[in-house]
């Protein structure tokens, strides 16, 4: 498979001494949606800025669409589309004026720039709002316009830096559909996000970056499997929980030493067998659920449970 | 070479980018009409009408060189729109830096120098109506201000070029701060800079300390160049001095601006 993005031991130390990235290495195949997860300040945006040539790496090597980012940043920019964390728009222009300007700056003659703007407005369902000032657009419309601007030149690789932050669920799902459509057309997508549900829904493979290091890399299923398999979880009184654990010894264990017992399931049918065994004991559980480790469980296990962002992120030290 | 550069290489690509940046500012100015067009117009017109009338008796001082205060003020007044209405595109630059559009421009391969030139070109263009009106008002009120067609064109060109030079300072502040408020906060700077120059009064009529500052003030050299065309008695050396002053002022600030831009990357 053609490698669309190669990052080899990327490191970034800002002038302030902040070490934003440490030896980050990953490859993204052509046509893949690659999810890049991390907490605020973890190094997601710094990675995007290096790969798009907006910021230099302190060490390491990166190639995008087969082109060295450091040696030929202009050639890289010719092959990529980028949406940054903030929708990079001009609120005083109309949607049509904005896209025409972007297409013109890209080098299209005026007539072609207008035509391309019209196509993109149609594609992103913004034609009705094309004559309105961007400042009057909803957050979802602004995000769609931002994405449209990134696609003016039909990029081989698309970088999306937290594209759905702040969107309502409907707008988020509409943007997901666009991302899937782009992948279906062969575009490689590098997606940073804090939404585990988003990564699960879209990404073929994921990297979890924490404090500037990649701490996990693989498919969502692979990452989930690292936390163990599916379990049947019962909540009952402590005595019954202990009896159940004893009856299914080797497959069951008590959780938190109280009235919750978990039974490992190797396959879905095992749930019926376990339930029959527990019913034979005459248990009266308060609650029963089949629990599959979520990506969120994986994320929290890898990056820690603490809330909030790492302090000290300053202007110019993009997270 | 990028696809954009391949389509529009060299000087043509640079000029096209500058034109697109100019055109964008023109579109933005339609939506901020008062700030873009009224702001550079009203204060200078008030200055050459009400202010000049109220303080006109200064012309009766024995050392005053002109027949009326309107005659003296005309040259400096033409330069005022560029100073009193400065910062329009600098505010836009700060908004671009803060909102991410500056990064988009870089990703599009747009030359920062071309974009800056286009922006400042718009700052120059938008002072022209105000400068023309101020000159007209001055001609109507003064006793001996009758610039030729070439003199009028030269005055307006000087006003536009000075507006660009003055706005480099605002761009520098916007670039350093990335705050739209910063260039706006710089607007009152026109007051000390003009008061300590020969815009309002001849240096000889100032207190000794102010006279020295006025003689060293770059704006005085530009005003004296403008005065060559309002009086109609053009001394090429004075005009060259004014142009050289603008060039030096601009060169210093542009070098500083480029250094800040490089550091940002």
What's the pLDDT at A27?
A: 96
Instruction: Give B-chain residues touching A163 at CB under 8 angstroms.
Output: none
pLDDT at A59 over 50: yes
Which pTM does this prediction carry?
Answer: 0.82
Give a three-class secondary structure readout of chain B.
CCHHHHHCCHHHHHHHHHHHHHHHHHHHHHHCHHHHHHCCCHHHHHHHHHHHHHCHHHHHCCCCCCCCHHHHHHHHHHHHHHHHCCCHHHHHHHHHHHHCHHHHHHHCCCCHHHHHHHHHHHHHHHHHHHHHHHHHHHHHHCCCCCCCHHHHHHHHHHHHHHHHHHHHHHHHHHHHHCCCHHHHHCHHHHHHHHHCCCCCCCHHHCCHHHHHHHHHCHHHHHHHHHHHHHHCCCCHHHHHHHHHHHHHHHHHHHHHHHHHHHHHC
Instruction: Give B-chain residues touching A74 at CB under 8 angstroms.
Output: 1-2, 5, 109
Interface test mutation site (partner A, options B107, B111, B264, max chain A beta carbons within 10 A): B107
Per residue in A179-230, pLDDT (tens digit) is 999 999 999 999 999 888 899 899 999 999 999 999 999 988 888 777 677 8
Residue B232 near chain A (CB below 8 Å): no
**Given an 8 Å threshold on Cβ–Cβ distance, is B31 in contact with A133?**
yes
Residue A123 near chain B (CB below 8 Å): no
Q: How confident is residue B240, by pLDDT bands cut at 50, 70 and 90? A: very high
Residue B22: CA atoms inside 13 Å, Cβ hemisphere, count? 17
Residue B15's closest chain A neighbor by CA? A105
What's the pLDDT at A175?
A: 87
Min distance A97 CA to chain B CA atoms (Å): 9
Q: How confident is residue A257, by pLDDT bands cut at 50, 70 and 90? A: low
What's the pLDDT at B172?
A: 96
pLDDT mean over B77-84: 94
Closest CB to A86 among B6, B17, B99: B99
Q: Which two tokens stand for residue A21?
A: 């990235």
**Given an 8 Å threshold on Cβ–Cβ distance, is B100 in contact with A105?**
no
pLDDT at A160 over 90: yes
Instruction: Give A-chain residues touching B7 at CB under 8 angstroms.
Output: 107-108
pLDDT mean over B223-230: 93
Residue A315 near chain B (CB below 8 Å): yes
**Given an 8 Å threshold on Cβ–Cβ distance, is A88 in contact with B265?**
no
* Alpha-carbon span B84 to B39, nearest angstrom: 7
Per residue in B7-51, pLDDT (tens digit) is 456 888 899 999 999 999 999 999 999 999 998 999 899 988 898
Percent of chain B topping pLDDT 70: 96
pLDDT at A241 over 80: yes
pLDDT at A314 over 70: no
Closest CB to A107 among B3, B99, B264: B3
Residue B28 near chain A (CB below 8 Å): yes
Residue A91's closest chain B neighbor by CA? B28
pLDDT mean over B58-86: 91
Instruction: Give B-chain residues touching A57 at CB under 8 angstroms.
Output: none
pLDDT mean over A43-71: 94
Nearest-CA neighbor of A295 among A211, A193, A190?
A193
The mean pLDDT of chain B is 91
Instruction: Give A-chain residues touching B1 at CB under 8 angstroms.
Output: 74-75
The answer to whether B20 and A106 have CB atoms below 8 angstroms apart is no
Closest CB to B2 among A52, A74, A108: A74
pLDDT mean over A143-170: 90
Which of A130-139, A276-285, B155-164 shows the lowest mean pLDDT across its residues?
A: A276-285
**Given an 8 Å threshold on Cβ–Cβ distance, is A85 in contact with B24?**
no
Min distance B39 CA to chain A CA atoms (Å): 18
Residue B95's closest chain A neighbor by CA? A90
Residue A105 near chain B (CB below 8 Å): yes
The mean pLDDT of chain A is 87
Residue A281 near chain B (CB below 8 Å): no
Q: How confident is residue A319, by pLDDT bands cut at 50, 70 and 90? A: very low
Instruction: Give B-chain residues touching A56 at CB under 8 angstroms.
Output: 265
Closest CB to B5 among A55, A74, A80: A74
Q: How confident is residue B234, by pLDDT bands cut at 50, 70 and 90? A: confident
Q: Which of the two residues, A45 and A315, has the higher pLDDT score? A: A45
Per residue in A260-312, pLDDT (tens digit) is 888 888 777 788 888 888 888 888 788 888 887 777 777 777 787 654 443 33
Nearest-CA neighbor of A171 among A131, A142, A132?
A142
What's the pLDDT at B102?
A: 93
Percent of chain A topping pLDDT 90: 50
Residue A106 near chain B (CB below 8 Å): yes
The most distant pair of C-alpha atoms in chain A lies apart, rounded to whole Å, by 79
Residue B138 near chain A (CB below 8 Å): no
Q: How confident is residue B2, by pLDDT bands cut at 50, 70 and 90? A: very low
- Give kind and range of the element (H or E) at residue A263: strand A260-264
pLDDT at A313 over 50: no
pLDDT at B3 over 60: no
Count residue pairs from A and B with Cβ separation < 8 A: 81
What's the pLDDT at A239?
A: 84
What's the pLDDT at A236?
A: 85
What's the pLDDT at B221?
A: 96
pLDDT mean over B120-128: 96
Instruction: Give B-chain residues touching A133 at CB under 8 angstroms.
Output: 31
pLDDT mean over B153-175: 96
Per DSSP bridges, beta strands A33-37 and A205-210 are: parallel
What's the pLDDT at B9?
A: 62
Above 0.90 for ipTM, yes or no? no
Residue B106's closest chain A neighbor by CA? A54
Instruction: Give B-chain residues touching A107 at CB under 8 angstroms.
Output: 3-8, 13
Domain segments of chain B as ranges: 2-264
Per residue in A67-98, pLDDT (tens digit) is 999 899 889 999 999 999 888 999 999 999 99
Per residue in B244-259, pLDDT (tens digit) is 999 999 999 999 999 9
Q: Which residue has the tokens 């790969």?
A: A51
What's the pLDDT at B10?
A: 82
Residue A134 near chain B (CB below 8 Å): no
Q: Which of the two residues, A300 and B142, has the higher pLDDT score? A: B142
Q: Which residue has the tokens 């053009």?
A: B234
Q: Which of the two residues, A15 and A11, has the higher pLDDT score? A: A11
Min distance A52 CA to chain B CA atoms (Å): 8
Q: Which of the two residues, B234 and B90, has the higher pLDDT score? A: B90
What's the pLDDT at A148?
A: 93
What's the pLDDT at A311?
A: 36
pLDDT at B132 over 60: yes
């Amino acid at each position: 498979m053609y490698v669309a993005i190669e990052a080899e031991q990327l490191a970034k130390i800002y002038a302030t001494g902040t070490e934003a990235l440490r030896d980050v290495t990953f490859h993204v195949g052509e046509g893949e949606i690659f999810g890049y997860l991390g907490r605020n300040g973890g190094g997601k945006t710094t990675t995007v800025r290096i790969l798009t040539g907006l910021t230099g790496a302190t060490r390491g090597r990166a190639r995008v669409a087969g082109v060295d980012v450091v040696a030929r940043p202009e050639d890289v920019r010719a092959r990529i589309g980028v949406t940054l964390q903030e929708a990079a728009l001009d609120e005083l222009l109309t949607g049509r004026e904005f896209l025409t300007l972007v297409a013109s700056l890209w080098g299209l003659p005026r007539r072609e720039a207008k035509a391309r703007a019209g196509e993109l407005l149609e594609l992103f369902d913004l034609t009705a709002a094309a004559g309105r000032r961007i400042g009057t657009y909803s957050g979802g419309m602004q995000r769609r316009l931002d994405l449209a601007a990134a696609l003016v030149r039909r990029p081989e690789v698309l970088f999306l830096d937290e594209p759905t932050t702040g969107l309502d669920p409907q707008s988020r799902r509409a943007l997901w559909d666009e991302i899937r459509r782009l992948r279906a057309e062969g575009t490689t997508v590098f997606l940073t996000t804090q939404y585990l549900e988003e990564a699960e829904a879209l990404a073929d493979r994921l990297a979890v970056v924490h404090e500037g290091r990649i701490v996990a890399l693989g498919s969502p299923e692979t990452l989930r499997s690292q936390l163990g398999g599916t379990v049947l979880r019962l909540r009952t009184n402590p005595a019954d929980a202990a009896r159940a654990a004893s009856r299914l010894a080797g497959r069951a264990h008590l959780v938190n030493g109280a009235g919750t017992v978990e039974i490992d399931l190797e396959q879905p049918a095992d749930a019926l067998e376990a339930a029959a065994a527990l019913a034979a004991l005459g248990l009266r559980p308060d609650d029963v659920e089949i629990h599959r480790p979520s990506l969120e469980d994986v994320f929290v296990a890898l990056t820690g449970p603490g809330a909030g962002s790492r302090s000290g992120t300053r202007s110019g030290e993009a997270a | 070479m990028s696809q954009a550069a391949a389509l529009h290489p060299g000087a043509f690509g640079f000029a096209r980018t500058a034109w697109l940046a100019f055109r964008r500012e023109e579109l933005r100015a339609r939506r901020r009409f008062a700030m873009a067009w009224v702001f550079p117009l009203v204060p200078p017109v008030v200055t050459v009408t009400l202010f000049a009338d109220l303080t006109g008796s200064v012309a009766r001082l024995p050392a005053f060189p002109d027949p009326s205060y309107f005659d003296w003020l005309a040259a400096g007044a033409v330069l005022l729109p560029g100073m009193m209405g400065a910062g329009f595109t600098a505010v836009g630059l700060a908004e671009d830096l803060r909102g991410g559009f500056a990064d988009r421009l870089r990703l599009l391969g747009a030359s920062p120098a071309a974009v800056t030139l286009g922006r400042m070109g718009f700052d120059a263009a938008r002072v022209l109506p105000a400068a023309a009106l101020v000159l007209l008002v001055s001609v109507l009120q003064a006793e001996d201000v009758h610039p030729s067609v070439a003199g009028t064109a030269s005055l307006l060109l000087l006003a536009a070029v000075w507006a660009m030079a003055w706005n480099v300072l605002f761009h520098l502040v916007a670039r350093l701060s990335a705050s739209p408020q910063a260039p706006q906060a710089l607007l009152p700077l026109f007051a000390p800079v003009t008061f300590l120059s020969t815009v309002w009064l001849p240096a000889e009529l100032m207190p000794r300390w102010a006279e020295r500052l006025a003689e060293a003030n770059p704006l005085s050299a530009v005003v004296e160049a403008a005065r060559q065309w309002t009086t109609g008695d053009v001394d090429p050396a004075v005009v060259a001095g004014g142009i050289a002053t603008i060039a030096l002022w601009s060169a210093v600030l542009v070098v500083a601006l480029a250094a800040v831009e490089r550091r940002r990357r």
